[in-house]
Amino acid sequence: MAQKTALIVYAHQSAGSFNAAVRDVAMQELVEQGYKVIVSDLYAMKFKANATQDDIIGDLKNPELFQYGEETMHAWLEDRLSDDIKAEQHKVKEAELIIFQFPLYWFSVPAIMKGWMDRVLTQGFAFSLQKMYNNGVFKDKKAMLSFTTGATQTMFQPDGINGDINITLWPLQNGTLHFCGFQVLAPQIFWSPVHSTPAVRTAMLDGWRARLKGLLAERPLTFAPCELFDLSFQGKFLLRPKVKEEQESQPYGLTTGHHLGKPLPPDNQVSAQASGGRK
């Protein structure tokens, strides 16, 4: 049996950080399970965050009106992307599992990790209008977010001052990972380790280690499948009328994003066990 590969895309500047400890636990546990583990340490690599025309080798298709997405798609097809992008795309192609490890910055990933997503997940390589969401390019791969927060868990409750963590996670988990086809595993959230005691931080790491032992057997998060939508410009990529009619009797919306004016499905973006209006 071929050895499986896991990629950890890591964004923290300190080797003494809690994020580094979380990364190390994942590396140790996955290696013990027989995985080949690759780490892209973005700060150590000095990975370029800006998506610019320097990412393309050779002439542009339309130099009068530079469009990054179109130009990188053509560059990918013609093997003209910059070497750093090609190296990361090779890692993604090789990996069955990708873990994004980072501290939550302004309700999102650090700029260097956003740059990795912008530059590495190019059109053609990671998605197309024909290959997206549950029909996406990476539908046979799993991905997940693992991150620390400065805020406490109560601050990210629906009645907390920061609002519902499910809404915070929707753009990353649905709009990036699931859009590219990944089976998205529930996020691993380490709530406010900087304000926690050493004993609590140790318990967090122990919980992560225990989860990793069964991680690949977990059921992914639930998203609305493409089959529920009219995937044409005439249909405007909207829910099919019959689906909307069926949903009228449901207590919750389909997903965090497709709420249809109803209450959000509880914990739709943080638990694979969460129920929605449709399975």
* Judgement on whether residues 72 and 167 belong to the same structural domain of the protein: yes
Which residues constitute the domain of residue 264? Answer: 222-279
Q: Are 110 and 11 in contact (CB under 8 A)?
A: yes
Q: Say yes or no to pLDDT of 274 above 70.
A: no
CATH number at residue 143: 3.40.50.360
- The string of DSSP letters for 76-112 reads HHTT-B-HHHHHHHHHHHH-SEEEEEEE-BTTB--HH
Q: Say yes or no to pLDDT of 119 above 50.
A: yes
* Judgement on whether residues 172 and 83 belong to the same structural domain of the protein: yes
Which residues, including other chains, have CB under 8 Å from residue 213's CB and lie 6 or more apart? 29, 33
What is the reported pTM?
0.95
* Judgement on whether residues 118 and 156 belong to the same structural domain of the protein: yes
Q: Say yes or no to pLDDT of 1 above 80.
A: no
* Judgement on whether residues 226 and 216 belong to the same structural domain of the protein: no
* Judgement on whether residues 157 and 109 belong to the same structural domain of the protein: yes
* Judgement on whether residues 264 and 145 belong to the same structural domain of the protein: no
pLDDT of residue 233: 86
Which pLDDT tens digit goes with each residue over 55-97?
999 999 999 999 999 999 999 999 999 999 999 999 999 999 9
Distance CA 109, CA 94 (A): 23
Q: Say yes or no to pLDDT of 256 above 90.
A: yes
* Judgement on whether residues 214 and 233 belong to the same structural domain of the protein: no
* Judgement on whether residues 120 and 167 belong to the same structural domain of the protein: yes
Which pLDDT tens digit goes with each residue over 129-144?
899 999 999 999 999 9
Look at the chain and report how many structural domains it folds into: 2
Q: Say yes or no to pLDDT of 278 above 60.
A: no
Which pLDDT tens digit goes with each residue over 2-47?
899 999 999 999 999 999 999 999 999 999 999 999 999 999 999 9
pLDDT of residue 80: 98
Hey, what are 171's tokens? Answer: 């753009």
pLDDT of residue 210: 98
* Judgement on whether residues 198 and 106 belong to the same structural domain of the protein: yes
Distance CA 40, CA 29 (A): 17
Percent of the chain predicted with pLDDT > 90: 94
Distance CA 8, CA 128 (A): 24
